[in-house]
Amino acid sequence: MEVSQKIDSVLKNLHILQLNMVDIFAQQELKSRLAKVDDLQRATSNRFRDIKNIAQATVNESDKYMSVFVKGVNDYLDNLYNIIPYITGPTLSFPATLFNTIGDLNRCDKTYFSSSVNFSRNLRWDSC
């Protein structure tokens, strides 16, 4: 009986260890994915800045800013293409994609916001 309990205890600890490892790897994967999304967002802001510089540049400077924009667009398009699997593929710990998860969170926030607005509107009218 004692050996059986020890084996059960070891198996339970191994199972907990396995769950912890999966969780750690999932967290690292999510950090990596979010870092890539942040990088793309920064690159998008840079492209908009470049376009603004082109629009505001004098005639003499516009060629310089246009060459910077064209040079940056190639890298930007590569990054955009490379990020697609990170936001459309399932994660290690959850079968939903990052894209769907963000969408679900936004819908949840909008629903919560809408219900709180309705609540405050009703509260205001009830108090009058």
CB proximity list for 26: less than 8 A, separation 6 or greater:
91, 92, 93, 94
Give the global pTM.
0.51
Three-state SS at 97 = strand
- Amino acid 78: pLDDT: 81
Contact 97, 90 (CB under 8 A): yes
Each residue's pLDDT expressed in tens, for the chain with a length of 128 residues: 688 888 888 888 888 888 888 778 777 777 777 787 788 888 888 888 888 888 888 888 888 888 888 888 888 888 777 777 766 666 655 566 666 666 665 565 555 555 555 655 565 444 44
Q: Where are the domains of the chain?
A: 2-95, 97-128
